[in-house]
Amino acid sequence: MAQDYDTPRSKDEDEESIEALGKSSRQNQAGDIDDDENAIAEDYELPGADLSNEDSSVTVIPMQGDEFVCSECFLVKHRSQLAYTTDDGDPVCEECAG
């Protein structure tokens, strides 16, 4: 079917089609948002939730002989990252010293 692109358009048809597009996109977005919120809410755990029946499988490795705890950031660092030691004998890493 051929269409004559040179004929003048009716403004009423354009406005109606724009309004129809706006309504349909709002309805689609509302449905998508509800689904996404429900999916996120199912996986979210509240900070004060009871986790007494959950098992934690974390292996803690004790601090090694060539490591130290920075007195500024309190992170365990390798001896090669030691910048200096304070007058009190507290070690400071290179990141905190910089």
Residue ranges of domains in the chain: 62-97
Contacting residues for 83 by C-beta, under 8 A, at least 6 apart: 92, 93, 94, 96, 97, 98
Is the pLDDT score of 74 beyond 90? yes
CATH classification for the domain delimited by 62-97, as one of 2.60.40, 3.30.60, 3.10.110, 1.10.510: 3.30.60
pTM above threshold 0.85: no
Cα–Cα distance for residue pair 36/2, rounded to 1 Å? 43
Cα→Cα distances 3→7, 11, 70, 98, Å? 9, 18, 76, 71
Q: Express as a percent the part of the chain with pLDDT over 70.
A: 73
User: Which pLDDT does position 13 carry in this prediction?
Assistant: 57
The tens digit of pLDDT for each residue in 34-54 reads 566 777 777 777 778 777 787
User: Which pLDDT does position 35 carry in this prediction?
Assistant: 63
Beta bridge partners of 17: none
User: Which pLDDT does position 58 carry in this prediction?
Assistant: 84
